Amino acid sequence: MKIRAIAITVSDSRNENDDISGEVLVECLNEIGAEFVETHIVTDDLENLIETLKTSSEKANLVITTGGTGFASRDNTPEATRAIIEKEAPGLAELMRFETAKINPKAYLSRGVCGIRGKCLIINLPGSPKAVKECLRAIKPLLQHAINLIEGETKH
């Protein structure tokens, strides 16, 4: 099953001209042959983020966000994700935090979650370009298999 992805940068200060994290996300997923359906930059506004995630999850089988996973009052990405997912996928978030904390212990401060809505896997990444690379390095070997399972390819 082909990975059809949407990248969403969550930020009150980024735009298309300076969205480095979103660019890094697209580059990393291109390395595994993902097809990009869309990319978005949205504010940290909770309701807008919930609607963007809902709409995106209907168009792609992988939605990855970057940003909005920290402790600041405007960091709403995990809450928006939890509001729409049907099943949580905690192992992916745990793996990303565990592997990236070997490089930077502050990785444990990321509140990012992962989960499934319909036939779409939603993954929250931190907002720094370095963290995007490190997190994706940890989970890239699992993404295709996860998408296949969500799409119903369950034969062993």
Render pLDDT for 22-69 as a digit per residue (tens, 0 to 9).
Answer: 999 999 999 999 999 999 999 999 999 999 999 999 999 999 999 999
Residue 156, pLDDT score = 67
**Domain around 104:** 4-150
Per-residue pLDDT for 13 more than 80?
no
Amino acid 4: pLDDT: 97
- pTM for this one? 0.95
Residue type present at position 134: E
155 within some domain:
no
Tally of structural domains, the chain: 1
Structural domain contains residue 77: yes
Residue 16: band (very low, low, confident or very high) from pLDDT cuts 50, 70, 90? confident
All residues at 6 or more sequence positions from 52 whose CB lies less than 8 Å from its CB, including other chains: 8, 40, 42
Joined tokens for residue 74: 């405007």
Q: Whole-angstrom Cα distance, residue 9 to residue 23?
A: 9
Q: What is the CATH number of the domain that holds 84?
A: 3.40.980.10
